[in-house]
Each structure stands twice: as C-alpha cells, then as structure tokens.
Amino acid sequence: MDFEICYLEIFDEETKQWYYKSKSDNPEPINCWYNNLESFFDSFNLFFLFRDINNQGLSNAVDKYKGLPIDCSEQILKAHDFYFEEVKICHSASYLNLTDLLNFDYEKTFDITEIAEKDILLFRFEINKSKKQFIPHKEWLGEDFFIELQKTKQQFCNHSKCRLIYFLYEIDI
C-alpha cells in the first residue's frame, strides 16, 4: 500500500515564488543532512483521497502523479532529492491546491477491498462487520483529520495560493 509525506507551500505575490511552510509556529531547525521538514497530515493515510482528487471528474481514470512542480521551494527540492535519490524510498510525487482538499466531497466512496488487512489494522480502522465494499472518505479518515484540516485552513487562509506537495512511498509491514 502507498503512503505519503505531505508538505505545504505558499505563494508570495511580491516575489512570485513558492515557500515551504512548517506545520508549527516553532518548528525544529531543518537539518540539511536529513531534510527533516515538518509534514502535514502525517497521522493519516491520504493515498485514496489524493488519488480521487487527482481523478476527480474522470471516470475510470488511471492514477495521475504530476511530479514535482518546477517552481517549488528550495527546501522541497532538497527533500525530494533526499527521498528519491539518497535514501530511495519514494517512487512518485505530486501536488494539489489546498482548496482542492477543502472542497472535496468526503462522502465520495472508495473500494475498501483495495486496502490490505494489515494496513487496516495499522490505521486502527474498524470495518463494519457487514463487510461493506465501499466506504466514504470521511469514515476512512476519521474526525481527527477534519480537525487538522480546519487548523490548516485557519493557519493559511490569508494566502491567495497554497498547495500540498506529496511524495508517495510503499512499505511492507
């Protein structure tokens, strides 16, 4: 199963550049050796959500990963090089606007048979014993996701452009 590391960037209208933003107001200093940038939504598996947002409006679409944006911040570029070239744990990168995440219809369902049982246990997700095949994203993500999403919205609502950049990796547990 794929997992993701999410980073957030904001666009500065004056400089016309994107800048990495940390999750907390008092982040740890960035260690250039390990590129320990603060990740957003790191307690949740957003793979199915990101896939559906990228495929929104397209029936039977194949997963689309846009790669790293060419205008990304230097910190994101360094993190990309670290995860893709140095430690080689990530296999795909993409991005989406924060508004896409905020405006998504979380009642949209996805097929839970795509989730391996070990991954369901990893995220402590309890599937109804009726063995529903499709569940809404809202149920998969849980209430804590929406609390974090609202905090993120409030923290960055005064920026005209804000995007999430994510790196996908696969682990076997």
Confidence of residue 120 (pLDDT cuts 50, 70, 90): low
pTM: 0.84
Q: What is the pLDDT of residues 19-44, one digit of tens each?
A: 999 988 777 777 766 678 889 998 88
Sign for the CA dihedral angle at 135, 139, 145, 151 comes to positive
% of the chain residues with pLDDT over 70: 82
| Residue whose pair of structure tokens reads 């893709």 in the numeric block | 84
Contact 114, 48 (CB under 8 A): yes
Q: What is the pLDDT of residues 11-20, one digit of tens each?
A: 999 999 999 9
